[in-house]
Amino acid sequence: MANAAVAPAAHRYLPILDWAPGYQTDWLLPDVLAGLALWAVMVPEGMAYAGIVGVPPIMGLYTIVPALIAYAVLGTSRQLVVGPDTATGLISAVTVGAIASQGTAEYNTLTSTLAMLIGFFFLLFGIMRMGWVASFIPTPVMRGFIEGLVYVTIIGQVPHLLGISGGSGNFFTKLWHVLQHLPEVSAAPVITGVLSLGAMLLLRHLAPKVPAALVVMAAATIVIGLLGGEATGVRVAGHLPSGLPHLTLPNLEISTLRELVPGALAIVLVGYAEALGAAKAAALQSGGKIDPNQELVAHGPANILSGIFGGFLVVGSLSKTSVATAAGARSQIANLVAAAFSFLTLIFLTPLFRNMPQPALAAIVIAAMLHLTKPRYLLNLLARNRWAFANTVIVIAGELTLGVLQGIALGVVLSLVTLIYLTSHPKGAELGQLPGAEAYRDVKHHPEAATFPGLLIWRIGGNLFFASIGHVSSALKASLAARPDVKRVLLDCDSVDFIDVSAGDELLGLIKELQEAGIAVAFVRVRDSVHDEMRRAEIETAVGRANFFERTTDGVRAWQQRSSSEAELKS
């Protein structure tokens, strides 16, 4: 009995037990080739993205291996790739930078501590089955966050690209700092950075399947090395330690953890939304099912182990997943192959990166950010929905002026405010019957829809609760004011999934007010749960059980029969 209970739990939390037994031998070659493609992308990007996080390049390599292995065992996506990320990496830098100075041992330790804290939250939320949290960031807000992040990240990398000192503050402060220090620019770093950036963009355009980051980094490193390394005036990576990383003990001081928590939660929210989107995109292309809650669980150990081994945070990446998919990856074996080659790189190949120029790393980051920006989406959004466009612009402006964390918080607040507004302002409408059909539509959108003398068919348009009932009541009264002939209101409740106590009480008061004005009320298409609540609120008693109809047509016919009977009596 115990074994029978343990087996489903093991398969639930260890998805590798589901796909590994069914692994097909003809998948091995495509997976190995995809793994090599991933390795060629992740090694240079991992070291480049370390610059975004604000840590030494070697920590990028420490990050890759444990994260890939952990997700391969625990993740539900066949092709999702977890690794260093630009968006969440900048949040990490901002969060840790508020406590310690970049370039210090304390900063590096806190960065790894933050990764472990992020992993803890991922794991906790996964166990609590809170996979729905990603839905609180709508696409326009997420797009605005990414667009703002592109500009903030690029301006942060420009000093490295040009070989000048970096600045602090918001986007405009950093921009002004760059402009002020342009006279200090020397030729060697600029040539290295600009040529590297141009090569990255050109390769992506002409040969998208070529690992541009690896080619550019290798070429720049070889050239700078042949010319004398730092003697050229270009800042290089210098000595990178080989071998296994030393285990990192987290900083568990309560005051420190308290300062890291807001950034960790922001990274979990943003990172999970990005990862889940990437996993779903991969599943649509190659099949498979995604368990949102297990994805949270999988990101937990991936980050905890990355932090323990001296790395920084990781999330599922759409760009790296696209590389794996395009290279023909069939399963997480591709990730394990990439992890194996990254491990060998860490053990044997780090001396090759001694002359790796900082401007080339900055060029890799800037090229990645330019690849993320989508100005055409913003123009399309403006044409589709000005309110959504305004939200996006506000988020971008918040990031550029207030900061990255503040921009995220602003985006989440805007999302919640929008949600509250929409749910509390259901779009009620007067309905009319389409010619020759038992279909009833909004008369504003369908002028051909016929209305009935003395009868107002009114769709409530959403759920009834304390925040929406006032708007529903006002909208209904406005429709009645435009139809002084109305003697009966037929309320269409098809869009009402629940009604709370406050709404029930106010609806009963509205019904009695209308009845005193000589207007009868009836209901149509009421769900059973809503009908039960109406019964408890004495609404059924007020209107009569006979005035609840299954179909709109039934309610219309009942009114017509009543009108005919009253006309006959009068005659």
CB 349 within 8 A of CB 125: no
- In this structure, are residues 67 and 303 in contact, taking their beta carbons and an 8 Å threshold? yes
Query: Order of strands across the sheet with 440-442?
Result: 440-442, 429-433, 455-459, 488-492, 520-524, 548-549
Helices (runs of H) and strands (runs of E) counted in the chain: 23, 8
Least confident of 6-15, 96-105, 258-267, 532-541: 6-15
pLDDT tens, 113-169? 999 999 999 999 999 988 887 666 788 888 888 888 888 888 988 998 998 887 778
Q: How far is CA 539 from CA 336, 469, 535, in A?
A: 63, 15, 6
- Which tens digits make up the pLDDT trace of 204-215? 888 887 888 888
State the virtual CA torsion across 559, 561, 564, 569 in degrees, nearest 10: -100
Which whole number is the average pLDDT over 388-415? 86
The per-residue pLDDT for range 218-234, each reduced to its tens digit, is 999 999 999 988 888 88
pLDDT exceeds cutoff 90 at 55? yes
State the average pLDDT for the chain: 89
**What does the buried/exposed string (b/e) look like for 403-438 if buried means 16 or more CB atoms within 10 Å of the residue's CB?**
bbbebbbbbbebbeebeeeeebbbebbbbbbeeeee
Q: Which residues pair with 452 in a beta bridge?
A: 455
pLDDT score of 444: 94
The pLDDT of residue 207: 86
- pLDDT tens, position by position, 63-121: 999 999 999 999 998 888 999 988 789 899 999 999 999 989 999 999 999 999 999 99
Angle at 337 between CA 26 and CA 342, to 5 degrees: 165
The per-residue pLDDT for range 477-523, each reduced to its tens digit, is 999 999 999 999 999 999 999 999 999 999 999 999 999 999 999 99
Give the pLDDT confidence score for residue 366 in this predicted structure: 87
With bands split at pLDDT 50, 70 and 90, how would you rate the model's confidence at 12? low
Domain-wise residue ranges, the chain:
30-373, 429-570
| Confidence at residue 285, expressed as pLDDT on a 0 to 100 scale | 66
Number of neighbours of residue 515 by Cβ within 10 angstroms: 13
Give yes or no for a contact between 400 and 151, defined as CB atoms under 8 angstroms apart. yes
The pLDDT of residue 271 is above 70: yes
Given 3.40.50.300, 3.30.750.24, 1.10.220.150, 3.40.50.1950, which CATH number is that of 429-570? 3.30.750.24
pLDDT at 567 over 70: no
Question: Does 19 have pLDDT greater than 80?
Answer: no
Q: Is the pLDDT of residue 11 over 70?
A: no
What pLDDT, on the 0 to 100 scale, is given for residue 1?
44
- Count Cα atoms within 13 angstroms, Cβ side, for 55: 33
Q: What is the pLDDT of residues 296-348, one digit of tens each?
A: 999 999 999 999 999 999 998 877 887 788 778 888 999 999 999 999 999 98
pLDDT for res 279: 81
Is the distance from CB of 145 to CB of 167 less than 8 angstroms? no
Placement of tokens 């190995």 in the chain: 32
Rounded Cα–Cα distance for residues 288 and 295 (Å): 14
pLDDT band at residue 569 under the 50/70/90 scheme: low
- The confidence score (pLDDT) of residue 4 equals 46
pLDDT surpassing 80 at residue 288: no
Question: pTM score, two decimals?
Answer: 0.77
pLDDT tens digits for range 430-439: 999 999 888 9
**pLDDT score of 13:** 64
The pLDDT of residue 147: 87
Percentage of residues in the chain with pLDDT exceeding 70? 95
Give the pLDDT band of residue 5 (cuts 50, 70, 90): very low
